[in-house]
Structure 1
């Protein structure tokens, strides 16, 4: 049977028989030679079979437009879109992305192995290839409680999945250097696959050791020195442009003709509004071109480079034998994308998806808020004196300040006042442990209410900020009632909520619907609660629980000083 199919393909490639589809009169971007070649592209059985002059059973005259290989996002957390994989695909495929390398560590922190399986299964419904990097750090640290603990043995069962191609970002770089047994077991398990890095602070011999362990990529570079240090040791560098971290423009100047093949594009975390308004990898390409990268080279970084880095056979180029994942553009300046083909089928046109995925929502992905009843006494902050350690919000940054300031105290407990200091709580919501961390935060500027979320990186516990205890408790209860999501409370009333029924971090509703509600809620934060307009309320809130980014953060286990790498009391010793 195969020899018959092969003979048929060869005959069509020779032009003796008509191909199923021929894209005619196009400027073909050749990522191998760096040329733009005018001609036709013949497609049969989902693959490219020839370039030149061809006739087909179906022919589409593209009238001199440009044809690129489908774009590849080299590192993305689907969960940051707040959408299921199938709804996420509806937004990114019309923007030219036909393949992603996804790290589902967000849903894994909530639902463990079952969460990863959900991502794999839901991705099968759509014309988007989703390759999985299994999460390396669940939980991310030992200073918080997540919904799961994944050891090397837990990951073994998923290695047989054909979409699993490697181990996700190794955030526990201290564990690599210090020879942590669990970390070494995971590295050994994936020794024949790609291992992603996450080690921006490593240098010198420690960096050598990190790379020698088998780690191949880095997406956390924010300086040119970090880029060069890693390039010289053979790492691939992922140029990131997401919603929270925007590094591409800072380091793109390092790219030159000699090192170009070691650079890829990624988004990492991109939120609904940015996906809709900016796009995805097409936005990275445009930024690179504006920074002086030749258009063909920018497209090479979005196609051939990631395909070779991650061993994605048959992807990343327009050539015989390659998969017909193709993007039609009318120019190479603003990358106006007209058509997108996946496996030779038209799946996107004029920024619109031409497919409608089925909703896939297993019961084990819902009802993810498991908390004990939380009362006023549970969120009180004991104060032996008036000196407090306070989290200071920094605008346009995930880093926070460590502030020491006198606060109001009444009967031995923190007492709210009008000094722009609010209470922040993180409540464990996976296992019903009753763990609650309580702290203080400044420069969020919230007044007369509270906002809450079950998106709190990376363990995704309940996180709430408020200027009074009543509204904080109402927000917690509302998050339980809606099964997870976002909520805003003012003067004892719930103003608006956004249910995220999948693990409390995603929804199966369209991205556009989610974005519309999210925009309304952000406006309410500014207009009704007086939140600092120089921050994104819910994005900022989500990162206040991440105990790996300096200086002070809060987990369900308490206030954490990242620089000391230890917990501290809210009340500071005199």
Structure 2
């Protein structure tokens, strides 16, 4: 029988009364973290005391006794880390496997944008992610995808308008509207685009931004429309302009984009209250070997940032921005999401508590994966609808756009035109194959900076519409790579001389695997090794870089299923013969 309102109040009253008893010292706590040197995010100092936990909340700090006591003398005690913006799909594993990875790095909360899977499956994709993140030992909150598809030039598996997502704003795990990538639509007052912002504001929710290099009056228009944050700042100057105009800055350090070094000047007392940390996209190897938010903290500290400023950006600031009012601090009434680290020099996470439960102490404690509706699971495994391709599918005549890669950045350069593959001069063929609705659309162009000497690579992780994107030295190997992904119902393939040398299967919407993170990482690293063996530039991540080359909202050129796209002009690049 469903609990009545009066029963709910009475149940919560008993819990609250017990917390009061513990806080007052009249009753033993469930847990006491003894002799803690903890970060006080309100007074900006480290203080000492016993941290008493009752019913998942911090009841008090002072001198306490508990049913269980853990002495952390000599350690640093911090609020749980918060990732302000991530796409869980980028880890290439299910949310349960992602949670196992980040718990050991002190992450207790993430705010995710499921627009990768939504671009493949629409509302079914959002439902799948919500169901598969319930009751994990990491709290997962959602920002609703704003750009499905990212632009009108994309061919996604679905399209979502403001009416489609409106009811989701009332879900308790939804915090707002995710990165508004179509900044061109915003600053031009496009009705369909701006309506999504209005809908989010009508529900009193946040709107996150995505506007690389946007400046001046165009930036004014973007912010005036109601966009509160940005995670696409690659220079301090652009970040400072956005901050001065009222935006919050998410300092991003992920697998593909590395902005921490450029934005270090923000980590000062003058600016840091408007800053938080985000990873955006994290591949398995980075999660296993590098870390998560703790990695950003570690790098910031090594680069001379003030520890308190840095740690508030990793915890408190994101909680305040997203109005998660019982997170991001160690204080009475806050959730007992607590991290214990060794010291500032090494900054190794030694223990993690989630709502007062020890979930990591050198190893992650076992937990049950959420149950997901079988119909959703079946739909996730059937998202490919395309015919086999042949080498002739990629043959083109005339001069096509030449995309120039920029090392360490998501930005590309417009290098004009090319009329053929020229391996010696690092000019390779790039193509994007529509895979959702069997349109047989294949956009072709050329790319410089990837550096393959033979073979081809392909992936169905192709932001944000997630068609199949491929780069190769020959049409034959390109066709073999694309067909390998089609057969696997998603994944990453490396081909040489018509033979598949490495394959990572990603059958969940063509984005994720149901295997363990370690297994996925092993297959991914093998694919990387094969790509590097074939000559891929070792200064880039060959697949993360590839996956962003189809995202037509980051300057300058991208590849779509309809051809090379000029982001700055917001139009398909005309071949040289028609200019």
Give the TM-score band, short-chain normalised. over 0.9
Check whether the contact 2:134–2:370 (CA below 8 A) recurs between aligned residues.
no
Q: Distance in 1 between matches of 2:386 and 2:166?
A: 31
Matches within 5 A, 1:26-105: 26-105=36-115
Q: Output one character per residue of 1:48-97: Cα deviation in whole Å (capped at 9) or x when no partner.
A: 10111111111112233221010111111111111221111111111111
Q: Distance in 2 between matches of 1:124 and 1:44?
A: 23
Q: Shift of residue 570 of structure 1?
A: 5.0
Q: Distance in 2 between matches of 1:346 and 1:481?
A: 43
Give secondary structure in 2 for the equivalent of 1:495: strand
Q: Output one character per residue of 1:341-377: Cα deviation in whole Å (capped at 9) or x when no partner.
A: 0010011122x32124427561111122210232343
Matches within 5 A, 1:96-495: 96-191=106-201, 192-350=204-362, 352-358=363-369, 362-383=377-398, 387-404=399-416, 407=419, 420-495=426-501
Q: Shift of residue 460 of structure 1?
A: 0.9
Q: Shift of residue 389 of structure 1?
A: 3.6
Give secondary structure in 1 for the equivalent of 2:470: strand
Check whether the contact 1:86–1:125 (CA below 8 A) recurs between aligned residues.
no
**Counterpart position of 2:5:** none
Alignment size in residue pairs: 563
Q: Shift of residue 42 of structure 1?
A: 0.7
Q: Structure 1 stretch 320-329 or stretch 279-288: which is displaced more?
A: 279-288
Check whether the contact 2:142–2:175 (CA below 8 A) recurs between aligned residues.
yes
Q: Distance in 1 between matches of 2:498 and 2:243?
A: 55
- Cα 1:4–1:270 change in 2 (3 A) is closer
Q: Shift of residue 140 of structure 1?
A: 0.7
Check whether the contact 2:417–2:575 (CA below 8 A) recurs between aligned residues.
no
Q: Distance in 1 between matches of 2:94 and 2:235?
A: 33
Q: Distance in 1 between matches of 2:470 and 2:127?
A: 30
- Cα 1:260–1:356 change in 2 (3 A) is same
What TM-score does the superposition give when structure 2 sets the normalisation length? 0.93
Q: Which runs of 5+ in 1 are unaligned?
A: 408-413
**Counterpart position of 1:550:** 555
Give secondary structure in 2 for the equivalent of 1:353: coil
Q: Output one character per residue of 1:234-281: Cα deviation in whole Å (capped at 9) or x when no partner.
A: 221111111111112212213332333211111111211122222111
Match of 2:571 among 562, 566, 570: 566
Q: Shift of residue 388 of structure 1?
A: 4.9
Q: Distance in 2 between matches of 1:543 and 1:380?
A: 23
**Counterpart position of 1:410:** none
Q: Distance in 2 between matches of 1:394 and 1:177?
A: 27
Q: Which runs of 5+ in 2 are unaligned?
A: 1-9
Q: Distance in 2 between matches of 1:563 and 1:36?
A: 48
Q: Shift of residue 21 of structure 1?
A: 1.0
- Cα 1:441–1:64 change in 2 (3 A) is closer
Give secondary structure in 1 for the equivalent of 2:358: strand
Q: Distance in 1 between matches of 2:341 and 2:316?
A: 18
Q: Distance in 2 between matches of 1:396 and 1:201?
A: 16
**Counterpart position of 1:411:** none
Q: Structure 1 stretch 222-231 or stretch 310-319: which is displaced more?
A: 222-231
What TM-score does the superposition give when structure 1 sets the normalisation length? 0.93
Give secondary structure in 1 for the equivalent of 2:520: helix
Give secondary structure in 2 for the equivalent of 1:560: strand
Q: Output one character per residue of 1:526-572: Cα deviation in whole Å (capped at 9) or x when no partner.
A: 22x23333332212221221222333321101122334332235564
Q: Structure 1 stretch 154-163 or stretch 319-328: which is displaced more?
A: 154-163
Q: Distance in 2 between matches of 1:573 and 1:214?
A: 39
Q: Shift of residue 125 of structure 1?
A: 4.2
Check whether the contact 1:381–1:570 (CA below 8 A) recurs between aligned residues.
no
- Cα 1:43–1:388 change in 2 (3 A) is closer
Give secondary structure in 2 for the equivalent of 1:159: helix
Q: Distance in 2 between matches of 1:23 and 1:388?
A: 64
